[in-house]
Amino acid sequence: MQRIFLLWLMAASSLWAQPAAQPVKIVVTPDHADWQYKLGEPAKFSVTVYRYNVPVKDVKLRYEVGPEKMKPTQSQTRTLPTGTLTIDGGTMKQAGFLRCTAIAEIDGQEYRGLCTAGFEPLTIKPTVQNPADFEQFWNDAKVELAKLPVDARLRLLPERCTATVNVYEVNMQNYGTSRLYGIVCIPKAEGKYPALLRVPGAGVRPYYGDVATAEKGVITLEIGIHGIPVTLDPAVYDNLRGGGLLNYQSANLDDRDRYYYKRVYLGCVRAVDFLTGLPQYDGQTIAVTGGSQGGALSIVTAALDNRIKWLGAFYPALSDMTGYLNGRAGGWPHLFFGNNLAFNNTPAKISTVGYYDVVNFARLVRVPGAYAWGFNDETCPPTSMYAAYNVLGSPKSLNLYFDTGHWQYAEERDRMNEWLLEQFKSVR
């Protein structure tokens, strides 16, 4: 059983990991080292097709340039005698991101590379509506949650425990009639410890828990969001992913009180209730972190719960989701993009989005946060992430890894973990 979960942990981690190397690479680079430009300033992209690290001569390349996720403003096919091409990408007159995508076919297989130039991204403003009763809506919801007992039930997982850490599956009462499940890791030695809440990226999967951080003297809780145990047979999650939980991101979008994420957001507050109620908790030191959907939930949790002292967010999803209704990229889950547009473009659904968009939670964050993403992210477009980042009034730092898409370098993850641990040490 332990081997199965380790395999699943490795698979889940690969979702954020650097893509596997291929024999052919298409490297697209901007002519500014910081990948950033002033409005009206021209951007040029250099494209080189490599095979075994040597430029491929006479390769046929097709490329597109345009604002990210939008219709290209130019598209051409060229033959590259030396394997290299310089493209005049033009410019942008409004803050945002210009993307150059290049594709070559070699031996019957397509290879792809891209580069995304930022035009004054720190001036990007959100498009999403901020409801007048936003804070009241969530304050009322938290009052309803507080009426419910935590009712935490722990089950020791001996096969996952280490010499210094006990590992449990925990479930607790969440909003409504649902339960919240997760894996909590608690140092065995007597004492009081800081706590770290890990919130998940999108999907349906089991969880293994953050034992490594717990071994450094931190209570960790990694939660799922779907109200189901997180230690089931992998086939159960496969079936739910393609069945009952398919497209959960859109469930009940026409009703702000029934939308899927209401229980999810309140579940993050309930997780904090549980952690701060543990006898081993030190009473003052708690942070939240995650990537993608988890990056969004990190910001949401810090906004809703003043017990959170720090947050670490990788490429936050659910940010400025109405961008597409305003002629630019919007955040995952792309509710108003492609085939989703005709179905979701209704007043009721647009109104609901305002109560769940990360931009409006970011306005309420009051604690220090570390943020990290890349310009080549096609899942969480940087336009949408900057829309949330730019409204933050709290202390913040942004670590850019320009060429990353919806994944992380190991160094990027290590830097975030080290920052969180440094915050814990600073209050001891």
Catalytic residue among 210, 292, 305, 357: 292
Please compute Rg for the chain using Cα positions.
22
Q: Do the Cβ atoms of 89 and 42 come closer than 8 Å?
A: yes
Does the annotation mark 377 as catalytic? Answer: yes
Rounded distance between C-alpha atoms, residue 140 and residue 135, angstroms: 9
Number of Cβ within 10 Å of residue 256's Cβ equals: 18
Go through the chain and tell me how many residues it has.
428
DSSP assignment, residue 145? H
Residue located via tokens 């680079």? 29
Give the span between the Cα atoms of 414 and 422, in whole angstroms. Answer: 12
**DSSP label at residue 388:** H
Alpha-carbon distance 400 to 117, whole Å? 13
Asked if residue 401 lies in contact with residue 385, where contact means CB atoms within 8 angstroms, the answer is no
* Residue 33 Cα distances to 45, 84, 117, 384, angstroms: 11, 19, 10, 23
**Distance between CA 371 and CA 285 in Å, rounded?**
19
Q: Which two tokens stand for residue 165?
A: 């850490």
User: How far apart, in whole angstroms, are the C-alpha atoms of residue 90 and residue 45?
Assistant: 10
For 120-164, list the strands marked E by DSSP.
153-156
406 as an active site residue: the answer is: yes
Active-site residue list: 292, 377, 406
